[in-house]
Every structure is written in structure tokens, then in C-alpha cells.
Chains A and B, each alone.
Chain A
Amino acid sequence: MNNPNAFHRRLSQDIYELLSSMRLAISLLTVLAIASIIGTVLKQNEPYANYIIQFGQFWFQVFESLGLYDVYHSAWFLTILAFLILSTGMCIYRNTPLMLREMRSFREHATEISLRAFSHQAEFASSMPLDTLQDRLGRYLHGQGFRAKVGAPNESGDVLLAAKAGSYHRVGYMLTHAAIVIICLGGLIDGNIPLKAQQLLGWKKIETRDIPQSEVPSASRLSTANLSFRGGVTIPEGAGADVIFLNIADGYLVQDLPFDIVLKKFRVEHYPTGQPKSFESDITLVDKATRESVSRTISVNHPLIYKGIAIYQASFGDGGTKLRMKGWNLFSPAHASFDMQGVIKQTAQLSNGDANYNIEFTEFRKFNIENFANENGDAAGGWQNLLKYVETGSTKVTKKELRNVGPSFQYKIRDAQGQAREYFNYMLPIQLEERWYLLSGMREAPNEPFRYIRIPLDSENRIDGFMRLRAVLLDKQSHPEIARRFAEFALQGEQISAPMLGKLVDSTGRILDVFAAGGYEAMAKFIEKSVPAAEQEKAAQTYIKILESAAVSAWRIAQTKAGQPAVMDDNSLRFVRDSLNTVSDLFSYGAPVYLQLSEFDEVMASGLQLTRSPGKNIVYGGSVLLILGVFFMFYVRERRIWLLVKPKLGTVLFAMSTNRKTMDFEKEFSRHQEQLARLLKE
């Protein structure tokens, strides 16, 4: 290179060529598409702890440095986007002047030689005078929707009619490409570039501590002047908020609002099937500057827009429902129930002797709609259903039987070692197989389903009868008494002979002891240990018979003690059997207490999302241009026609061109050719 200036000119020329080239644009489109896939496969903006669990420490850090947890706001993704804007912008800059010239020009200076080089051309003979010809052809072109210009005769007296139609095709090009740039710019404004810059410069810091918002330092707060934001806040009924939280990476920023929002009431409505029908919040805004107040109800798809800030119904939750419960001490069954209070999302203490427990109330649900049909649940496969359809013409499979079984609440009981089990209790009894039970579900890990125990209700539809019976059954001191009563009863009924009485009392007492130590499971183990294998099944049947009968005696004792009637009938027998099952199941319940919900005062919380997006209208404007442009490009076809009238030779040369050859163009050419031939013949 002898001349550095020429080199620089060449280099900048090359860069210009590259940036405005189609090749680069297409490559960028492809890279952008592939990069976008990453963010759909990897869940974005999760808490960082989740990613560490998923990938392990090493890969977590690799992915973090690549910005994969928020791909669409990472520096490299924005760089690709910026290049696409640059490339598209250059493309417009480079081609627009050319296109405008093309649009305006009729190309009336085309020479005969160049016209004869066209792939679509024809020549007609015509003896008409020049004026008539010019007039007819001019009218023909006009009638076909072409705009024509008549050139001056050349030295041999030839006159050229140059015509064009569909010039707006090129406007389509300009509109679409300008639209892309406009949409991307609008998006970047809402992507909050100023905030990104402040973060980069260290002026704003992401807060990662879980502290009250009033204590968040100003480096992590954004003023109301912030141009664009999108964040959320959860407000319990009756409470208010004047900030929202913007979740960024592993922390958040606090965005101050120019108004206070108070949530007066939150409502959920349900369909009969239990699916949610609507979420609505009654909110009041009070402007901090003017003290102006606005009250409105917002719901999904119906936000409130106040001074450029849109307020959306985004989610909901519990805002601290107050619960009043009856607690049944399962470890010392003889105790009467005690009263207990709790608030959802708060923790209560419970102590039983030396052991201390935390009860974390997690959730309250006012409705539970359950499907009671097909309880044994063997749904037919697709093929059987198809065959059934062919036979009966009905696609109905199983009838649904939906029932609202009333409120429920959920809590975790955590012992001093930090081990927790989770419980799910219905407030109201539920009818199963025509009997009423209180259901309580238990699970040891959040990903397991709840296993339910059913507590049978006594003849007064209370839980007390069961608790009394359980107390007697588990009380070792009462076992000799139960065994004695049972044996006497058996003697009376002449089921056994007198000499066997003592033996029956002994074995009944032993069976009760074993059952009281661990339910049916303990009995099974006992039999396995003490009975030869061949006789185990028979022994088990006998033992259960004895246990059930003894339990009837126990029930009589319990009822009499409580001053309740003790008449044995089918109903009571069923109750005793159910009770035995439940007593046995309770051994694996793992909680010191069963909590029975007696009253509640529901407090809901509404999750609001607040957005200020000044770029929105820019994006919408760009979108309109994009749609217009796309239709111009696809459905306005640019065509040119030249008719060179050569009066001396008595011929007309017809040539046609388009910038996009399609089958429609071929058809149109043939049509013109045929029509012109007829027009020029007369």
C-alpha cells in the first residue's frame, strides 16, 4: 500500500459494503433465531439457587458468565440486535435513493437495442398513422392501470411510450425495513438502556438481601423519573404499597411510584367445575403530588392506566388468613382438645413435654372441587374409546361428578431437628362410601402426593367419639378391663366355654398391647415372629376378629365414661372398624397433633404488575408500517411496458419487464401481447 489514505478509504468502503450486504443481514437473522432458542430451552430469570441445583457449581458459573439466565438482556444478544439494526439501517440508507429514482423514472430513454435484449418482447405490424397509434396505445396503457410517458421522437422518427405500474412495491421495501429498525428501537427504549448503563457504571446496585423495602439503600432504588420499568408487588387486602420490585438476576431493585396503591378487596370467582373464572382487585390510587384519588376495579385483560403507568392484575395469593383451630394431642390421647390460632404465612410454636415444634401455616383454600366419579380410576385407552364411539356414536367417556368439599388448609410441622412434614386438612367432613370422615393428608417431601387418613365421625357427627375410643385403645392400663369385658361377653353368647375364659382374656390383652404399640403393622410383625408360617393366615384372621370384637368393648367403655349412649348396631360396628383402621394409620402420621379447623377469616392478597413502557407506541407504529410494507411488497407487483412505435417501418415493438418474475407476470405478458395484437390489427 503506497497510499494510506486509499487504504483507509478502501477499508471503510469494505465495511460499508459488508454492513449493508444481504449476506450479513441473513446471517444475523439466523444467528438471532438460534440465540433465541437458548432462552426458551433454559428457564429464564429463575432464582439462582435453582440453577445451582440443576447444573452444579461449575456449570452454573460458566452459564452465568455467558448471561444464559437472562439471554435476551445479555450484552452479546443486544450486540447482535444492534448489528441487525445497523445492518438494516445501512441497507435502507444504501438502497432508498436508488429505489426512489427507480420509482420516479419511466425509463423513457431506453434504446431499441436494449429493448430487443429483453426476454419478454414482441413486435407487431401496424399501418395506422402515428397519431392514432399513439392515442390508442396511450389509452390502452391507461386502461390497464399503467402510467405512461411519451418520449420525444428520435432521429428516425421512432416514438417510445414508456409505462409503469405498481411502483409502490418499492415503498413496501422501505416500509418493512424501516419498521424493523423502529420496532427494535422502541424495544430497546423499553429494555431500559439508561438503567443498564447505570448498572454498568456501578451507580445502581442490585439488592440481594431479604430486608424490608424501607431499608433498601438508595443505590438500589429507582426514582419516579425512571423512564421505563416493569415490576410487581403483592398487596394483602386492606394494605397498601407505594413501591414495586423489579427482579433482576439474583436480586431486585425497588422502584418508587408516584402514587400509593391500596387494595380494598380481592375476589376470585369460580366456574361450577372449579376452574377460576375471574380475578378482580378493587384498588384505590392516591397521587402523591396532587392527592387526587382514583378508585377502580381491575381484572385480567382489563388494566388501569394512570399517568402512563399501567396496573395489571397478575397473580394472587393469601394475605394472611386468620385460622382458629382445635388441636388434638395425638401423643397423649387422653387429653382434651385445646384451642389454637394461626395466620397463613406465619409460624406458631407448639410444645409437647420436652419436644418443641414449629407449625408453619402455608396455604388456605376456600374451595376444593373434587371429582368423585370414577374413583377406582381405570380410564379406558384411546383405542377402546374409538371402538366405543363406532358402536354407540358417543364420545362421552365417564361422567364427572364434581363436588365442592369446602375449605382446606395446609401446614408444615417442623421438629427441633428441622425435619418437616406437610399436612393438608379439610375443614368439613367428606362423604365416602356413604359415611362421613374428616380427611387429613400427610407427605414427607413436597414432590410426593399427600397420603390421606380418614377420621370417622361419631353418631353426633363429631370427631370426639373417635378420639375417646382411640384413647381407651391406646391406654395399656385399660387393656385388662377391655379383655375381661370382651371375654365375658363371648361367654354370655356361648361362643366360648368357661375354662377358656382366662386364656381368651390373656390373648386379647396381648393383642391389644401389640396393636396399641404400632397398629396393624405391629400385629403383622408379631404374627410373623410368633406363629409358624403355615398358620399365619388363619392366626391373622382370628386376631383381627378378636381385635374388632375387643374394640367394641373398648367403645362401650369409652362411651359410658363420657356419658354417651353405647348401643351397638350396624352403624356403630362400622364406626369401630373404621376407627381401628384410622388408629393404625395414625402411627405413620408423624405429627404430635391433629389440627381441626373450626373458624377462619380469609384475607387475600393481590399480585399487581406495574409497567411504564414509553416504547410501546413506537413499537406499534413500527408494526403498522411493517404490515403495510409486507402487503405492498407481496401484492403490488412492479411492471414496466415499453412500446416503441416505428412509423417508417410500420411496426410496434412491445417489451415488458418486472423486478420479480412470477407465473402471474408470464400470464400478464401473454394477455398484453394478445390484446395489443388485436388493437393494432384494425
Chain B
Amino acid sequence: MELTENYGAQPAFLKTLTWFDWLYALLLVGGSIYALKLYGGNMDEYETGILFLSAAGLIAQGWFWKPFRVLVLVVAAFSLFGISQYHGQLARAEQAFFLKFFFGSQTAIMWMSALFVIATASYWIALLSRSAFTARVSSAITWSAVVMGLVGLMTRWYESYLISPDVGHIPLSNLYEVFILFSILTALLYLFYELRYQNRQMGAFVLLVISAAVGFLLWYTFDRQAHEIQPLVPALQSYWMKIHVPANFIGYGAFALAAAVGVAYLLVSKGMLASRLPSLDMLDDLMYKSIAIGFAFFTIATILGAMWAAEAWGGYWSWDPKETWALIVWLNYAAWLHLRLVKGLRGPMLAWWAVIGLFVTLFAFVGVNMFLSGLHSYGTL
């Protein structure tokens, strides 16, 4: 018996990796080297660093969370296929069959939007009819939405370079683009916990938050034409954007997830939907975990932001409204974590706090750009 031989020792991590893990890593490393060979001439040392660190990060994430590997490979395949269809002409986004109907950036983002809304409805049907099959279908739709959203961002990235090489930039530069990122990251965080807890009942609530973001995105597209790719203002032309923005949105996404769980917690604690939703213990655990991960990444993002500010604006902290609201969000969740961890507080009060926390976060994310003026003025509505 194995247990007695090694006395229950856990095998070394590297030994648990399968051939697929190694193939995945090999493809990522190979892809990065190929990208460097193709575009290295236009990249500075920071960007080269970011390229290989992202590859390492994706490998680590894929090894740690197996379904992530498939996601990365599928997104890569679709994106590369999409890019190959442009033949270097932007106009083909509305002519070539695969671009017009699937992988052109606008189309893919519309697919993402539609799929997220469908998934929301589907999760609710699954919740109300207690259908495990419908819930599995909902997960699949959410995964597809994530794929299409990521493909849309990838082809948008490529399209920006087709407009003009000096206009080209990573699509993380305005409110429109980060809203797509927000939807994707929130969904991914949810999907991670869905598999971790083997529980699909929370999707109905989390996808509602994502659907709200999608609604905003559609309004922003059709009323304000925010989807048009704009060149970068000088302040944003920095490698910092590639790390500051994603870190921030992992934080925002996790806080949004925590708030959705908070709503479910409050309903269950009042006896509503209690038989259809997970236990209070699990909800509490999930809420804590997403706030913890959000807080960790938000801390990193704020520090990276300070470092960028020191390089662009001449000071790591200027009490700019966006900075100050980031601090308020941070202080808010720091207080939440202190009560939860040190005082051992549990229950509806923390759930309420997590829900209200999302509104504070939302204000820092969108409200500051709408109502207050300052250095972060490129995110205006």
C-alpha cells in the first residue's frame, strides 16, 4: 500500500505534472521565443521581461489550475487563426467570413456579451429548476464567453496595429477595454471557485454582476461609440500599463465576486432560496477567499500604480482622486479583513459590508472618472 510506504508523504509537485502540462509549457515558451524573434526589434527590455514573465505566469497558472491550460490554448488558436484572416487589412474585419461572424474583434466581443447574458439566464433556470444538467451547460456557455472575450481583445490588439503601427497598443487603455477585461476576469475567478467547490449554484448571482457590466458595455458601444480604437496619449505610453491594469482588474473582479456571494449569503440567511443555494459556511468561505485574493492583487496594483505615477507624473502619490479612492477601497477591505480574521467576526454584517464594498469599488472604478476630475482623466465617459 502506497500510504505505508511513503507514510502519506505528498509527492513533489513537479512529479505530479503530466505530459500535457509539459507540452503546454513548451508551447508557451516556444511561442514567446517566436514572438520575440518576430517583434523583438520593437520591444524594449521591460517589454521583453513582461513577455517572458507573462509566459511563466500562464504556465504556473495552468499547472496550478488545469482547465486554464485548455483555455489558453483555445484562445491562442482562435486568435492566431483570426489574425491570419486579416491579410494585413483592417477592412477585412467586416468582409472575411470568419472575422465578420466570429473572430473579428467587434464580433467576438459581441459574442462574449451575448453569451454572458445567455449564461446568466441559464444559471437562473438551473437554480430554480434544480437541474444539474442545465447548470453544466451554463458553465460551458460561460467558458465560451470568456474565450470569445479574450479572442476579441487579442484581435483588437492586432487591429490597433493595423490602423497604424504607432497607434497600436494593448487593449487596456480606456473604460471600454477594461470593462471587457473586468467581465472576463470576474467570470474566470468564478469558474475557478465553481470547480474548486464543485458547486454551480452561485453562477446565477455572479453572472448578474457580469451581465450588468455587459449592459454598460453595450450602451457604451452603441450610444457613445466607445469601441473605436483610439491612439494612446503620451502618459499611457508605458510598459507599466501592461501590469498595472490587469492587476487592478483581478482585484475589482474578485471584489465583484465577493459582493455577488454576499447577496447570496444575505438571501440564505433570511431563508430565501436556502435549499437551492450553498450552505452559509461555504458562502462565507468563498466570500473571504475572493476578498483575500482581491485585496492581495489590489495591493499590488496600487503599488505598481504608485511606481508608474512616480515615472510619469513626478510623484508616487499625488492625492489624485483616483489614487485617493484606491486608498479608500483598500482601507475598506483592510477593515473588513481585520474584523473577519482578527476579531473572528462572521455573519450578515460582513456580507452587507462586502456588498456595499462593491459600490465603493465601483465608484473608484467608474464614478471617479464620471464625477471627479484629475490626472486619470483618460477613463472619462
Contacts and interface: CB of A to CB of B under 8 A. Distances in A.
Interface of A: 22, 25-26, 29-30, 32-33, 36-37, 39-41, 43-44, 71-72, 136, 139-140, 142-145, 187, 230, 271-273, 275-279, 299-303, 310, 312, 314, 381-383, 385-386, 389, 393-397, 609-611, 613, 616, 619-620, 623, 626-627, 630-631, 633-634, 660, 662-663, 675, 678-679, 682
A18 to B, nearest CB: 16
19 contacts: A26-B335, A26-B338, A26-B339, A33-B327, A33-B332, A136-B7, A275-B233, A276-B234, A301-B237, A301-B238, A301-B240, A312-B312, A314-B313, A389-B222, A616-B316, A619-B316, A620-B307, A675-B3, A679-B4
A623 B306 contact: yes
Interface of B: 1, 3-4, 6-10, 94, 100-101, 106-107, 110, 164, 166-167, 218-219, 221-225, 227, 230-231, 233-235, 237-238, 240, 281-282, 285, 288, 292-293, 295-296, 299-300, 303, 306-307, 310-317, 319, 321, 324-325, 327-328, 331-332, 334-335, 338-339, 341-343, 368, 372-374
B28 to A, nearest CB: 24
B282 A663 contact: yes
B218 A386 contact: yes
B299 A36 contact: no
The binding surface of chain B is classed by DSSP as helix
A32 B300 CA distance: 21
Nearest to A626: B299
A620 B309 CA distance: 13
3 smallest beta-carbon distances between A and B, as pairs: A143-B9, A382-B223, A139-B7
Nearest to B164: A272
A631 B296 contact: yes
A131 to B, nearest CB: 15
A458 B6 CA distance: 99
A143 B94 contact: no
Contact of A630 (B164, B233, B237, B295): B295
B343 A22 contact: yes
A679 B8 contact: yes
Contacts of A385: 221-223, 225
A679 B311 contact: no
Given A187-B317, A393-B94, A382 B235 contact: no
A32 B331 CA distance: 8
Nearest to A313: B234
Given A300-B237, A395-B106, 7 more contacts: A271-B164, A312-B314, A382-B223, A389-B110, A397-B225, A611-B315, A619-B317
Given A40-B368, A144-B10, A272-B164, A279 B234 contact: yes
B339 to A, nearest CB: 7
Nearest to A136: B7
A258 B187 CA distance: 54
A616 to B, nearest CB: 6
Contact of B10 (A145, A397, A627, A662): A145
Nearest to A40: B321
A630 B231 contact: no
Contact of A679 (B3, B218, B231): B3
A44 B319 contact: yes
Contacts of B164: 271-272
B306 A301 contact: no
Nearest to A382: B223
B10 A386 contact: no
B7 A140 contact: yes
Contacts of A302: 311
Contacts of A29: 331, 334-335, 338
Contacts of B373: 43
A393 B328 contact: no
A570 B324 CA distance: 64
Contact of A312 (B4, B8, B224, B313): B313
A71 to B, nearest CB: 8
A301 B106 contact: no
Contacts of A272: 164
A37 B9 contact: no
B107 A393 contact: yes
A607 to B, nearest CB: 11
A39 to B, nearest CB: 6
A181 to B, nearest CB: 14
Contacts of A616: 310, 316
Contacts of A301: 234-235, 237-238, 240, 311-312
B296 A278 contact: no
B314 A662 contact: no
Nearest to A379: B225
B320 to A, nearest CB: 9
Contact of A675 (B8, B288, B293, B338): B8
Nearest to A384: B222
A312 B281 CA distance: 52
A25 B238 contact: no
A27 to B, nearest CB: 9
Contacts of B231: 271, 273, 275, 277
Contacts of A623: 303, 306
Nearest to A300: B234
Contacts of B374: 40
